[in-house]
Amino acid sequence: MTIVGWAQIALVLAIIVAAAVPLGRYIAAVARGRVTWLGAMETLFYRAGGIDPARGQDWKGYGLSMLAANAAGFVLLFAVLRLQGMLPLNPLGLDGMSSWLAFNTAVSFVTNTNWQAYSGEVAASYLSQMAGLAVQNFLSASTGIALALAVSRAFARGGVKELGNFWADFTRVTLYVLLPLTLVLGTAFVALGIPQTFASYVTATTLEGAEQVIPLGPAAFQIAIKHLGTNGGGFFGVNSLHPFEGPDAIATALQIWGQAIIPFALCLTFGRIVGDIRQGRALLAVMIGFVVLATAAIYAAEAAGNPLLTALGVDPAMGNMEGKDLRFGLPLVALFTATTTGASCGAVNAMFDSFTPLGGLIPMFLIQLGEVLPGGVGSGLYGMLVFALLAVFVAGLMVGRTPEYLGKKVQAREIKLAMLAVLILPTTILGFTAVSLVLPAAVSSIQDGGPHGLSEMLYAYTSAAGNNGSAFGGLTSDTPWMNVTLGIAMLLGRFAYVVPVLAIAGSLAAKAKAPESAGTFPTHGPLFAGLLAGVILILGGLQFLPSLTLGPIAEHFVMLAGKTF
């Protein structure tokens, strides 16, 4: 680790936080319906859909609308992927995807996971990428942000049934937040060298006379929303490592900015919606704290290099470079990795499968902590609020008072629902991993021997259930078993989680908002932030440390002992 390395990390983080302040304010205005510069188009959507944007929905109505929009998105995307061979904008004449793969991919993009069992330049036509996958990059992100706005409103006032109108939130977030940001970031990406063309692949003749087929495509626009929406599904097979997807250090820094900016800003939006900006800042501080610690751990582990290679006569000065390209440098790889796994994005600018054992442990553990640090767009905020309820509950137990959060009494019903939500992640991850480690059809997907093989399988279900989408790429994931079970894990991680969260929101919204009193536990200071961080760490640690011990931690000691597989 070097001073220059830390200066890079600090600079990029500072730019994200500086931009989160105005963006948080802007999203709050969008949520209130005060932003109208595309009013004509917005109205057109409402008219065509027969929607009254001013009509509030209770949590069930809001949730049902959300599920309907996502189901429709799934059906259309599945059809496009299956039929791409017959559709236009397919210059390479690619065939339709198999039904297992199309199911997995459609679920993956609708749930904002973007797990990819296919490789972009080999298996997806320009139309599938642009009008199929990229559209879900937008809509799954708008879904997450809309849900976060609905849950935030539950804390704003007392005695209300309605959480807002899903269709209005969904339309406004897409038109006023995601589309303009995508156009701006996409333009910067083209300037840095990311292609944006409908021309077919180009065949070059190299200086030594060989042929090289260079893939192209309408990539920059899709890559911009891939980060802004914390989707993470690469246009090209190796994601942001591809020289066309991550052409230089500026591009990778902008992608880090893109994948963290909305999750950070939404904390401040939450503060504005509940009328106390300090509440949002406390949540943001916890998120940033974890991102910095995780970045430091990854940076240190990767900079140390692989001792097994050093023993062969490799200079360890540049760290562990297997599976990494040169142009980003380790500090930005570490920050990118911490934000992409902390933020449920899943884009990668280095291959996690080839990380040192401890370097690979951190991204996996960040997902297992619940995808709230800072979490996906929207899902990070509502996930964090679930942990906040658990934190005040723990504090309430310690002092023997009924816990309150933002003036709302937190009672048995909310805590039961919160526990139901947080148990979905470990149940799905550990359940599927355990079954897959004894099932021959699944075990054959593992590439590496020893503890690393276990890490590959554990990471896959962690990534799917956490709706992250990154992978230990050695695993063969395009098999019927993996496609179906990972698809189910993604659905559970997204929708089985969000239903209890909406139910909590509905229940809290109806409660009276008690005024602050001398006995109120303040939820904006360092004491609460520390408690919240502790709850997140203890819950995640207790659930996943045993499996991590068998995977990356065992591998670390095996590596130090010089053993290979």
Partner 1 sequence: MSVLRPAVTMVVGFTLLLGIAAPAVFTQVAGAIMPAQAGGSLIERNGQVVGSALIGQNFTGDRYFHPRPSATSGADPQDSSKTVDAPYNAAASAASQRGPTSQVLIDAVKERVAAAGLTPVPVDAVTASGSGLDPDISPENAARQVARVAQARNLPVDRVRALLTANTTAPVLWLLGAARVNVLRLNLALDDAR
Interface with partner 1 (CB under 8 A), residue from 99, 119, 402, 549: 119
517 touching partner 1, by CB under 8 A: no
Per-residue binding letters, 30-69, with partner 1 (x by CB under 8 A)? -----------x--xx--xxxx------------xx--xx
Residue with tokens 């409660």: 511
CA–CA distance, 561 with 312 (Å, rounded to integer): 15
From the list 3-11, 15-23, 283-291, 418-426, the region that binds partner 1 by CB under 8 A is 3-11
Please check whether residue 202 is in contact with residue 186, taking contact to mean a CB–CB distance below 8 angstroms: no
Report the DSSP pairing between strands 408-409 and 202-205.
Answer: unpaired
Closer Cβ to partner 1, 166 or 290, answer by number: 166
Q: Contacts with partner 1 in 222-241 (CB under 8 A)?
A: 222, 236-238, 241
Please check whether residue 531 is in contact with residue 395, taking contact to mean a CB–CB distance below 8 angstroms: yes
304 touching partner 1, by CB under 8 A: no
540 touching partner 1, by CB under 8 A: no
553 Cβ contact partners less than 8 Å away, ≥ 6 residues apart? 357, 358, 361
From the list 150-158, 324-332, 422-430, 482-490, the region that binds partner 1 by CB under 8 A is 324-332
CB of 280 to partner 1, least distance (A): 29
188 touching partner 1, by CB under 8 A: no
User: Residue 510, class by beta-carbon neighbours within 10 Å (0-12 exposed, 13-18 middle, 19+ buried)?
Assistant: middle
Interface with partner 1 (CB under 8 A), residue from 32, 161, 278, 563: 563
CA–CA distance, 284 with 104 (Å, rounded to integer): 33
- The one-letter amino acid code at 37 reads W
**H or E, element range at 189:** helix 179-192
Interface with partner 1 (CB under 8 A), residue from 135, 292, 304, 484: 135
Closer Cβ to partner 1, 281 or 327, answer by number: 327
Q: Contacts with partner 1 in 137-176 (CB under 8 A)?
A: 138-139, 167, 170-171, 174
CB of 410 to partner 1, least distance (A): 31
195 touching partner 1, by CB under 8 A: yes
305 touching partner 1, by CB under 8 A: yes
User: Residue 190, class by beta-carbon neighbours within 10 Å (0-12 exposed, 13-18 middle, 19+ buried)?
Assistant: middle
Q: Residue 303, SS3? A: helix
Q: How many residues does the chain have?
A: 565
564 Cβ contact partners less than 8 Å away, ≥ 6 residues apart? 308, 450
Residue 212 pairs in a beta bridge with 204
CB of 270 to partner 1, least distance (A): 25
Please check whether residue 460 is in contact with residue 489, taking contact to mean a CB–CB distance below 8 angstroms: no
Residue with tokens 């030594």: 208
Q: Contacts with partner 1 in 75-94 (CB under 8 A)?
A: 76
The alpha carbon dihedral of 291, 254, 329, 308 has a sign of positive
Q: Contacts with partner 1 in 464-493 (CB under 8 A)?
A: 472-474
Interface with partner 1 (CB under 8 A), residue from 24, 164, 186, 271: 186
363 touching partner 1, by CB under 8 A: no
213 touching partner 1, by CB under 8 A: yes
**What are 512's two structure tokens?**
């009276």
Interface with partner 1 (CB under 8 A), residue from 40, 54, 86, 317: 317
416 touching partner 1, by CB under 8 A: no
From the list 14-22, 220-228, 276-284, 400-408, the region that binds partner 1 by CB under 8 A is 220-228
Report the DSSP pairing between strands 404-405 and 408-409.
Answer: antiparallel
